[in-house]
Amino acid sequence: MNNISEKDRVDIARIEYDNYTKIDVQHHKPIRFGENGHKKLLGTLDKVVDDKSTGLRMYVVKTDDKHYSVLFRGSESPGKDGWQKDWLDNDVPMVDKILTGGKGVTSQLSAAAVQL
Longest CA pairwise span in the chain (Å) = 48
Residues 6+ apart with CB under 8 A from 58: 48, 49, 70, 71, 72, 73, 112, 115
Q: Is 1 inside a domain boundary? A: no
- Tell me which residue range forms the domain holding 59: 6-115
Reduced to 3 states (helix: H, G, I; strand: E, B; else coil), residue 68 is strand
Q: Is the pLDDT of residue 112 over 70?
A: yes
Q: How many domains does the chain have?
A: 1
Cβ pair 33, 71 in contact under 8 A: no
Note the pTM of the prediction, 2 decimals.
0.83
Q: Is 80 inside a domain boundary? A: yes
Q: Is the pLDDT of residue 25 over 60?
A: yes
Q: Is 58 inside a domain boundary? A: yes
Q: Is the pLDDT of residue 1 over 70?
A: no
Number of Cβ atoms within 10 Å of the Cβ of 29: 17
